[in-house]
A and B are shown apart, each in its own frame.
Chain A
Amino acid sequence: MIPFELAEPTSLAAAVKLLDPDDATIRPIAGGTALMLMMKAGVFRPEKLISLRKIESKYSGISAGADGLRIGAMTTLSALEQSADVRKNAPVITRTLLTLSNVRVRNVATVGGALAHGDPHMDLPPVLMALGATLTVIGPKGERKLAVEDLFAGYYETVLEKNELIAEVHVPAQGTKKASYFKVTTGSADDWPALGVAAVIEGDGKAIKSARIVASAATDKATRLKSAEAVLNGKTVDDKLLKQAGEAALQDCEFIADVRGSVPYKRELMKVYLGRAIREALGGGTH
């Protein structure tokens, strides 16, 4: 085995100290489900990995309060999936997790890792972004707040410094908002999505007061569809409106072609699934 150093700090602060903003061969590792694949493929050859598994247990907990959910960044996706607090406060997350990868991955992959990896094909980031979630990020200079919406800088890129770590995710209380997420696959059922669409809507019947809609997977990064939201806000949903919103959504997205579909096809999927996500949210249960 090619040797690399593995550090297992027992606190988040210590982990931050071990990271080097200028050295890309030193990386934090949480669940490792993405990083190990990159290492096996030879895409990433670390000098040193900083394991986060032994940091304070409070970073793997979920709590619910009047202001919403607080999810430690080291919480595994299966803990998130099984949490009664999550199911009660943001059931769209619970539903999303059922088709997110597979049970083996969910048992070790973490919420923080799913965000920090910056992979546009992940299911959780668009959902958290649509729910208006914010992050607590810890770096050498202390902590800062960052909206999930502002996390992604591009394809596999985030705005985090190399010595910053996500500590916690805060999902604000959703009140009477309703939510949906569609993972659209074009290959096998458990393939990465060709398109992800998350919608969180404040509304009354078919009338939309305000909508937050996010597209992912077909795009270079999880992307909020502000033009589509502008079309929908204050309107009552009908086929014509959804069609307009679908067309508007195309202006917000930087589509990418891959083995899961061409750009023109992904644009068509976007138009169709934008409408389906809105209808699903309005017709489905809350959040």
Chain B
Amino acid sequence: MTDTLNPGSAKVGSQVGRSVPRLEGRDKVTGRAEYTHTMQVPGMVHAKLFRSTVAHGKIKSIDTSAAKKLPGVLHVVTVDDVMKVLKSPYYGPAFHDQPILAHEKVRFVGEPVAAVIATDPHIADQAVQLITAEYEELEAVYDEVDALTSKVYVHDVLKPAGTFADLKHLKNAKDTNLALDYRLRRGDFDKAYAAAAHKFEHEFKTQKVLHLSFEPFACIADYKDTHVTLYDSSQGPSFVRTEIARLLGWPENKVRIKVPYLGSGYGSKLYIKLEALALALSMIARKPVKVAYTFEEMFYQITRHPSTFRIKSGVDKDGKIVARKCEVYWNGGAYADIGPRVTQKSGLTAAGPYDIDNVWIDSYALYTNVTPAGALRGFGVPQLVWAYEGHTDMMARALKMDPVDFRRKNIAREGRPHTTGQMLKDSPIEPVMDKVLERMNWSQPFDKGSGTVKRGRGFAIANKAVISPTTSVAIVNVSADGSTTLYCGTVDMGQGSDTAMAQMVGEVLNIPAESVRVTPRDTDVTPYDMGTLGSRSLFHMGHAVKRAAEDARDKLKALAKEVGEPEGSNIPIADLFQKRYGMQAGNVIGSGIYKPDYTPPAPGTGQSPNVTPFWMVAGAGAEIEVDTETGHVKITKLINVVDCGKAINPKSVETQISGAALMHLGFTMFEKMHIDGGQVTNASLADYKIPGFHDVPAVMENIYIEHDQSNGPFGAKGVGEVATFCVGPAIANAIDDAVGVRLMEMPLNAEAVYRALRIKQGKPLENE
């Protein structure tokens, strides 16, 4: 279902805008597609990991003697062995804080402490069970708010990687768990809040949840003295190459990262995960070494950030929000991973899609003694929207204002500044909200249910700034027979990027998308890309691909002229090469680079006239039923609306919306890593459930509007994350509408709703 607003001027249509079936679809459904997790390399051996059972402790001893004796075991490796081949065993994108294997200390339950390399993964697994370790246990810190003031420090000294300017001041910092303190200041919050007619203050929380890719983490490293090859389930091969080269002290051209298809990623396979470990193990074994996780091990690699968001708003007598203060605490776990970027990049939109003159944002990345947290489909934004859209509804309710009217009064419209100071453009928040309301029949009377089943409805809106500045490079190669190959580093992990990129090439060169070959990712041949993350690829890589195709087209035109073809000649491309080279020979190579303009936010205020090249805009509406005797919530209708600029592949846009929304439905309703004393108590798919077909709402609509993205390739922008933003608060707002209880923490499971109902009745349920 589409509404096209503000159609673009570019005339497109031969390939762009067509629901081309996935180019790799047949290979995938017939089991032919290659994945790292199932890949074999000749001579390959296998590694399994021995993990910490304490959340925070000094390693007193590790006994590997019994494991070493098991037939089939080649090496049992601790960090001491790693440091013989890699002097500094620390890695990470923001901080070089994560050791390849625990070094002197352990910082979370599940942290790798030793590795067994064996001829068979099951032997390695059995040997792991024979390893023992002794720890001197230290006090641990788990909660993100506690971590800010705790005297328990996860790291003795902070070690910023040096890549991000806003982390430099943390170099060698001691006695802190703070891995970034982002701030934004606009206007004068204190003054405006003091003068406001109505004041509101709420605290929202989100829980620890997991990406759970269908393909667990996997990496095969094949180290030779002169070069190294990694077969890697990675969303960002370019970054992996840079980081592996740094660890080895080698130039990048001696490091090759090959990435086949990914069994999804959702942000979990970004930056560097198993690669440094696999490298070290291959250096020790002097053989290709495969590290491949089980599903259970995925609970100890990377998760989404739990968060606490304290939000304060001042509203004037007419219902206009005049002041807002956001304090966001991000529970980053034991190693920073990309947490500081989540803290900053989502932090800048913490005040929501509203026009507020006086804004104060503090966003804190905090170390704690749990599994590290990183990017998960939304880069922190879903946690923020959960808070600010709940807060918005709660204020409207308290002010006795209609939630639609209240939002309309406060929405930041085009031409008005965002809280960062950037003027909003191509940010159709109100049209997206109106589409949600139209599909919800919002203006019609609503049946609130009866007896023990009460009904309610709610909605939410949100925006996000795409991460910036980032760079993509692409190459289009036209062979002498006229066939075309695209080299681009965007990793197709199920989102359909290969197909969309091929469509853009096809559009420019006027050839069918199906005829374009997209090479598998291989840093020896594929040019640089910052990473497949944050909904950036269709926009950034899309631009690079379009430019590369245009470059190839221009060169083909020049070739035609060179061989004496008249202007506008439709001679087959193969004949051009034949004429020029006298046989089927030669290539035309087009290349394209894209990096958007960017102005770094001013230190201290976060103000910038150009902080992002595009805004993602989303809305969602939910109708629900609450069983007041048990707290069970049934979602009877879920409407998801996003702005996609221009749908390059309409079918892929729809599936991105439905996939994102259903993933977030799981986070909203039931997914939760239960942690007791630092130990994850439900670290298996038997006890950590994700949505299945029976959890899909009876009515679910996945709708996009097309508001031409004026600076986008063919008017398009990315949609990988955008439908995750609003599902949670829309459902929480609907529950409040149905039964008058407000849940401030996800998940909204039956027990949580039931307990809230009992509190409302003045008869709280005892705890245990």
Contacts and interface: CB of A to CB of B under 8 A. Distances in A.
Nearest to A269: B630
Contacts of B689: 187-188, 190-191
A236 interface: no
Interface in A229-287: 257-259, 261-265, 268-269, 272-273
Contacts of A264: 765-768
B695 A189 contact: yes
A281 B681 CA distance: 37
A265 B686 contact: no
B666 A188 contact: yes
A1 B120 contact: yes
Given A190-B689, A265-B751, A42 B125 contact: yes
A66 interface: no
B674 A259 contact: yes
B754 A268 contact: yes
B681 A188 contact: no
Taking each of A40, A188, A191, A192, which has the highest tally of chain B beta carbons within 10 Å of its own beta carbon?
A188
B767 A186 contact: no
Given A188-B670, A188-B692, A262 B296 contact: no
Nearest to B673: A259
Interface in B744-768: 749-751, 754-755, 765-768
Contacts of A40: 294
A264 B765 CA distance: 7
Contacts of B682: 259
Nearest to B696: A189
Contact of B684 (A41, A184, A263): A41
A36 interface: no
Interface in A119-175: none
B61 interface: no
Contacts of A258: 687
Contacts of B690: 188
A188 B695 contact: yes
Interface in A25-40: 37, 40
B9 to A, nearest CB: 47
B767 A262 contact: yes
Contacts of B126: 2
B629 interface: yes
B120 A190 contact: no
Looking at chain B's contact residues, is the secondary structure mostly helix, strand, loop, or mixed?
loop
Contacts of B768: 257, 262-264
Nearest to A259: B682
A268 B630 contact: yes
Contacts of B187: none
B694 interface: yes
Nearest to B750: A186
Given A186-B750, A187-B689, A190-B689, A272 B766 contact: no
B750 A41 contact: no
Contact of B686 (A1, A192, A268): A192
Contact of A262 (B129, B666, B688, B751): B751
A262 B758 CA distance: 15
A37 B690 CA distance: 18
B681 A259 contact: yes
Contacts of B684: 41
Nearest to A195: B630
Contacts of A189: 692, 694-695
B17 interface: no
A278 to B, nearest CB: 15
B712 interface: no
A265 B695 contact: no
The contact size tier of chain A is 20 to 34
Interface residues of B, number: 36
Contacts of A265: 751, 754-755, 765
A40 B749 CA distance: 30
Interface in A178-197: 184, 186-192
A1 B122 contact: yes
Nearest to B120: A1
A42 B684 CA distance: 13
A258 B768 CA distance: 11
B691 interface: yes
Contacts of A272: 629-630
B290 to A, nearest CB: 16
B530 interface: no
B692 A261 contact: no
A250 to B, nearest CB: 14
B749 A187 contact: yes
Contacts of A261: 750-751
Contacts of B695: 188-189
B462 interface: no
Contacts of A1: 120, 122
Contacts of B751: 186, 261-262, 265
Contacts of A2: 122-123, 125-126
Interface string A20-62: 0000000000000000010011100000000000000000000
A186 to B, nearest CB: 5
Interface string B667-710: 00010101000000110101111111011000000000000000
Interface in B122-181: 122-123, 125-126, 129
Contact of A188 (B296, B630, B691, B766): B691
A117 to B, nearest CB: 13
A264 B687 CA distance: 20
Contact of B670 (A187, A263, A268, A269): A187
Contact of B296 (A41, A190, A257, A268): A41
A261 B670 CA distance: 11
A109 to B, nearest CB: 14
A190 B766 contact: no
B120 A186 contact: no
Interface in B641-670: 666, 670
A263 B768 CA distance: 6
B188 to A, nearest CB: 46
Contacts of B691: 188
Contacts of A262: 751, 767-768
Contacts of A257: 768
B685 to A, nearest CB: 9
A223 B484 CA distance: 68
Taking each of A190, A257, A258, A263, which has the highest tally of chain B beta carbons within 10 Å of its own beta carbon?
A190
A190 B692 contact: yes
Given A261-B751, A268-B630, A269-B630, A37 B686 contact: yes
Interface in B109-125: 120, 122-123, 125
Contacts of B122: 1-2
Interface string B73-95: 00000000000000000000000
Contacts of A190: 689, 692, 694
A265 B129 CA distance: 37
Contacts of A42: 125, 129
18 contacts: A2-B122, A2-B123, A2-B125, A186-B749, A186-B751, A187-B670, A187-B749, A188-B690, A188-B691, A189-B695, A259-B687, A259-B688, A261-B751, A262-B767, A264-B767, A264-B768, A272-B629, A273-B630
Interface of B: 120, 122-123, 125-126, 129, 294, 296, 629-630, 632, 666, 670, 672, 674, 681-682, 684, 686-692, 694-695, 749-751, 754-755, 765-768
Which 9 A-B residue pairings sit nearest by Cβ, starting from the closest? A189-B694, A188-B689, A187-B670, A187-B689, A265-B751, A190-B692, A259-B682, A191-B689, A272-B629
Given A42-B125, A186-B670, A268-B630, 19 more contacts: A1-B122, A41-B296, A186-B750, A188-B666, A188-B670, A188-B689, A188-B691, A189-B692, A189-B694, A189-B695, A190-B692, A191-B670, A257-B768, A259-B672, A259-B674, A259-B687, A264-B766, A265-B751, A265-B755
